[in-house]
Amino acid sequence: MPEYQYLSGFESHFTSEDSRFPNALPEGQNSPQKCPYGLYAEQLSGSAFTAPRTENTRSWLYRIRPSVVHQPFKRFEGTAPFLRGTRWEEQHPNPNQMRWNPFDLPADGKEVDFVAGLHTVCGAGDVRGRHGLAVHVYLANCSMKDTAFYNSDGDFLIVPQQGPLDITTEFGRLYVKPNEICVIPQGMRFSVALEGPSRGYILEVYDGHFRLPDLGPIGANGLANPRDFLTPTAHFEDRLVDGYRIVSKYQGALFVATQGHSPFDVVAWHGNYVPYKYDLARFMVINSVSFDHCDPSIFTVLTCPSNRPGTAIADFVIFPPRWSVQENTFRPPYYHRNCMSEFMGLIFGRYEAKEGGFLPGGASLHSMMTPHGPDHRCFEGGSNAELKPERIADGTQAFMFESSLSMAVTRWGEETCQKLDAKYYECWQALEKHFHL
């Protein structure tokens, strides 16, 4: 059986069973008196039982042992010291434009796995009230060994920047390369194996789950197509392990419990609450073919809506390779002050609006109503270029986490990491006065 097999679709109702044990899924019911092969039935709920059908998410797992077979959880001291929950008051507010140089990978000779390498950069809200988000980076160089992790607080949208992630989940295995993303919804246990030093970004949302944005007048097709999202197929291991660790992120803190077996013992499952991955190269770009520069919302891959129509707790937006053909138009991003917070990262390449200082593995944050836009070089080039059809962003993939919440920066993000570029503001100082009669 190949290691990586997938089911395609978004918000679909899937069924899957390990081919080594056919007919492991019960027929016609979820919880029979006795499950096939002596398995245990366990439901994983991603929504309230009484949520509307269109929003109701859950999966049934048929496993060798139920998840409850573990020792009591204890505080996981000393691990991921820079992971923050909702302690957003540790730094004084700072409205300035912020740009980070690439975050450092772990030093040679120091083993850091995915969990230990989590660092919170910024965020807003409260995990107890299930409202808000956080932005993290992971900086790791070794695989998780006999350890699984799950997040009680919300969903993880993971964006690898350097190095692929081999992710084992209760639902099966995902192989996620740079320029792909994956989503691990709340409560799902997973373990990350690495092939070498790895770095990436994580968008965590507390309120709900990611969904595809509505297309409105675009019509039925375009942007991220549902069939391009891939969910793993059932693939289990029946492995006894003395002291297997289950790490839980709960109310922003880490806890650990031990058990005597691997948690990845799900022989079959069905439902619509699943992990998934998506290849950003499959995004179907929509753009202007006449004049003016469209708002970046046309590049939204996934959104986590708020209770206000049209307003997101978080949008995941990309700026992929595409044709630019607008006439009589300033084609680069326009100058802007926004009622949203904009955190940007660069997976690879050179971002068109700031080719000099915005580097892969780094980031920027433009907070609410803080002005931002192209640097001097980009403005002059965009104002004087011959406006012929041209390919832009080839070999580049930039992205943005945009939120309606005002995000605070952590002490690690502003001070400890020592990656904040104090001279970022200088990229706009050469902008000249062109006013004339």
- Binding-site residues for homogentisate, in ranges, read 351, 372
| C-alpha R_g of the chain | 23
DSSP designation for 20: T
Distance (Å, rounded) from C-alpha 412 to C-alpha 91?
10
Q: Please give the order of strands across the beta sheet that includes 14-17.
A: 14-17, 266-271, 58-63, 40-45
Which of 385, 354, 181 is closest to 281 using CA atoms? 181
13 catalytic, yes or no?
no
Phi, psi angles (nearest 5°) of residue 168: -95, 125
Interior CA angle at 164 toward 158 and 170, to 5°?
60
Angle at 22 between CA 18 and CA 28, to 5 degrees: 105
Distance (Å) of CA 7 to CA 164, 186, 220, 233: 20, 20, 22, 7
Q: From the annotation, which residues make up the binding site for Fe cation?
A: 336, 342, 372
Among residues 13, 136, 235, 293, the one annotated as catalytic is 293
Given the structure tokens 């994956």, which residue do they identify? 182
Would you list which residues are annotated within the binding site? Answer: 336, 342, 351, 372
Q: Please report, as a single letter, which amino acid is at residue 165.
A: L
Please, which residues have CB within 8 angstroms of residue 53's CB and are 6 or more apart in sequence? none
Of 326, 334, 266, 341, nearest to 16 by C-alpha is 266
Q: Which residues are part of the catalytic machinery?
A: 293
